[in-house]
């Protein structure tokens, strides 16, 4: 399953399909494909080792974390379609924000008591603390939104989308402006400290430095797809790539250094408030702590509950938050590697632990990040599969299905589920939010449907 644009080279508007092609060397393409295969497999395996978990409430991977200016409040977004506002003092959830019909991929504090959330449904919601519904919604993007950035004066919000665009939205009058130029998914966006430029990165092997307000762009080409970008207080641009390498450049786009942060793709970045440290989260479940000036890895954090999809520093420049695939947010001392906070020990549960040795359950493991087998579990990005067989497509109450799915005349049976994975969701159920995936083996498809018949029956 894909959680960043770099996972699906041919994706368009957040789904596989004919998009703008990339011209890369056979060697680079081979590396991209091998990394993509690893991502699809590794991203969905939940770590089973014990770890320190401070904030537990999400029902799916924590895709985004933001910290308020005073460092007292945290906002998180998840595959479970919800955002949660947390108090660090009490280590408890203060507000659950439910609006999006897909994964919440990006969150931000706006500096005036308001918050922003954005997701796979292509919408940005602006919230006021304590209110149950958004104050304003921006719905200009035509594909999933995976990144948000707030301008230094908190007047504008920049969004990165898989529709290949960056948008600037005014937080005062609600106006919106599109920045076009990327030929593939845009995976990250960040404002320069002076607010006069904006940097975006994507799968098209480019870093684009947009000059505001005229919208012209300096384009820097890099060797591999980029999943994340951050900017230090002195204006240095830091990018995270599919080869596990950090590439630094000046505000003008001139290369200024490189650091090999790990052996697997980087999916999230954060720079400490003083600019001294970089946290680079990788798909293998590690986070490299990098000394930015020395261009060296100080230490690597592990035991983060599977792939770390999000990272954020507190204002003290030392405390780091990581968001895990197990739905938990962990707090660390980035310098020592020690867990911070209450140090409550918890072991992430494996939802398939009761099906050990079942081949169909192992095939289904690629689905557990988005779907539950029981109605009693917290909703994730996709609808629960409880009572699946015999149910008409897009008929489950309480889940927001696309209009395209609602118009289809499909009833889920072992045969229709098998067909779904034989030809792929995009071909069988056009308009779905389900990531493109196929199961080529008829034996594996049969094992999957046999397992679902047992595990989802009421």
Give the Cα separation of 238 and 299 in Å (integer).
18
Closest of 235, 139, 242, 236 to residue 187, by C-alpha: 242
Task: Return mean pLDDT, the chain.
Answer: 84
Reduce the DSSP state of residue 238 to 3 states and report it.
strand
CA–chain centroid gap for 85, Å, is 18
Gyration radius from the chain CA atoms? 21
Domains and CATH numbers, the chain: 51-346 (2.130.10.10), 350-455 (1.10.760.10)
Closest of 449, 398, 391 to residue 421, by C-alpha: 449
Residue 90, pLDDT score: 82
Residue 26, pLDDT score: 46
Q: Does 213 sit behind a cis peptide bond, omega within 30 degrees of 0 on the bond before it?
A: yes
Q: Are 364 and 352 in contact (CB under 8 A)?
A: yes
Reduce the DSSP state of residue 134 to 3 states and report it.
coil
Burial 420-435 (b: 16+ CB within 10 A, else e): bbeebbbebbebbbbb
Residue bearing the bigger pLDDT, 352 or 162: 162
Q: What percent of the chain has pLDDT over 90?
A: 59
pLDDT tens string 309-335? 999 999 999 999 999 888 889 999 999
Q: What is the mean pLDDT of the segment spanning 374-385?
A: 77
pLDDT exceeds 50 at position 46: no
Statement: the pTM of the whole predicted model exceeds 0.75: no
DSSP string, 380-393: -SS---TT-TTPBT
Q: Is 403 exposed, middle or buried (0-12, 13-18, 19+ CB in 10 A)?
A: exposed
Q: What is the mean pLDDT of the segment spanning 256-260?
A: 97
pLDDT exceeds 90 at position 305: no
Residue 403, pLDDT score: 86
Other beta carbons less than 10 A from residue 382's beta carbon = 23
Residue 240, pLDDT score: 96
pLDDT tens string 414-439? 999 999 999 988 889 988 877 666 78
Query: CA angle, 139 as apex, 134 and 145 as ends, to 5°?
Result: 95
Of the pLDDT bands very low, low, confident and very high (cuts 50, 70, 90), residue 37 is very low
pLDDT exceeds 50 at position 97: yes
Of the pLDDT bands very low, low, confident and very high (cuts 50, 70, 90), residue 367 is confident
pLDDT exceeds 80 at position 134: yes
Angle between helices 442-455 and 414-423 (to 10 degrees): 140
CA distances from 303 to 35, 289, 337, 370 (A): 22, 14, 11, 22
- Give 132-137 contacts, CB < 8 A, sequence gap 24+: 133/99, 134/99, 136/174, 137/99
Residue 54, pLDDT score: 59
Extract the tokens encoding 350.
């494996």
Q: Are 224 and 243 in contact (CB under 8 A)?
A: yes
Stretch among 26-35, 351-360, 377-386, 441-450 having the lowest mean pLDDT: 26-35
pLDDT exceeds 90 at position 398: no
Q: Are 121 and 101 in contact (CB under 8 A)?
A: yes
């Amino acid at each position: 399953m894909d959680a960043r644009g770099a996972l699906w080279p041919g994706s368009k508007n957040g789904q596989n399909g004919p998009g703008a092609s990339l011209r890369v060397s056979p060697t680079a393409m081979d590396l991209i494909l091998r990394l993509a295969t690893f991502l699809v497999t590794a991203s969905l395996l939940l770590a089973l080792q014990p770890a320190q978990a401070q904030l537990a409430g999400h029902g799916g991977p924590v895709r985004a974390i933001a910290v308020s200016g005073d460092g007292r409040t945290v906002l998180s977004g998840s595959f479970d379609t919800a955002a949660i506002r947390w108090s660090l003092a009490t280590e408890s959830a203060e507000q659950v924000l439910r609006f999006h019909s897909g994964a919440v991929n990006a969150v931000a504090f706006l500096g005036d008591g308001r918050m922003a959330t954005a997701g796979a449904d292509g919408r940005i919601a602006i919230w006021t603390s304590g209110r149950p519904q958004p104050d304003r919604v921006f719905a200009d993007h035509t594909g999933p939104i995976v990144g948000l950035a707030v301008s230094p004066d908190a007047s504008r919000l920049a969004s990165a989308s898989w529709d290949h665009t960056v948008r600037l939205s005014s937080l005062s009058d609600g106006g919106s402006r599109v920045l076009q130029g990327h030929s593939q998914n845009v995976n990250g966006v960040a404002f320069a400290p002076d607010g006069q430029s904006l940097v975006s990165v994507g799968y098209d092997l480019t870093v684009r430095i947009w000059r505001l307000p005229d919208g012209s762009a300096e384009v820097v080409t890099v060797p591999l797809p980029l999943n994340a970008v951050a900017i230090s207080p002195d204006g240095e641009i830091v990018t995270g790539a599919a080869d596990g390498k950090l590439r630094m450049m000046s505000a003008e786009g001139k290369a200024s250094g490189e650091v090999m942060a790990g052996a697997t793709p980087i999916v999230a970045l954060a720079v400490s408030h003083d600019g001294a440290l970089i946290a680079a989260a990788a798909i293998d479940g590690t986070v490299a702590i990098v000394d930015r000036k020395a261009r060296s890895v100080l230490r690597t954090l592990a035991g983060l509950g599977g792939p770390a999809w999000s990272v954020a520093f507190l204002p003290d420049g030392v405390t780091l938050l990581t968001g895990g695939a197990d739905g938990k947010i962990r707090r660390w001392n980035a310098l020592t590697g020690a867990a911070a906070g209450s140090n409550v020990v918890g072991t992430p549960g494996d939802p398939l632990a009761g099906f050990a040795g079942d081949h169909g359950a192992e095939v289904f493991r690629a689905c557990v990040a988005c779907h539950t087998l029981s109605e009693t579990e917290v909703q994730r990005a996709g609808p629960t599969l409880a009572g699946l067989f015999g149910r008409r497509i897009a008929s489950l109450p309480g889940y927001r299905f696309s209009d395209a799915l609602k118009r289809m005349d499909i009833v889920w049976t072992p045969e229709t589920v098998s067909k779904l994975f034989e030809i792929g969701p995009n071909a069988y159920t056009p308009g779905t939010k389900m990531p493109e995936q196929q199961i080529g083996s008829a034996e594996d498809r049969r094992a999957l449907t046999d397992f679902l018949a047992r595990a989802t029956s009421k």
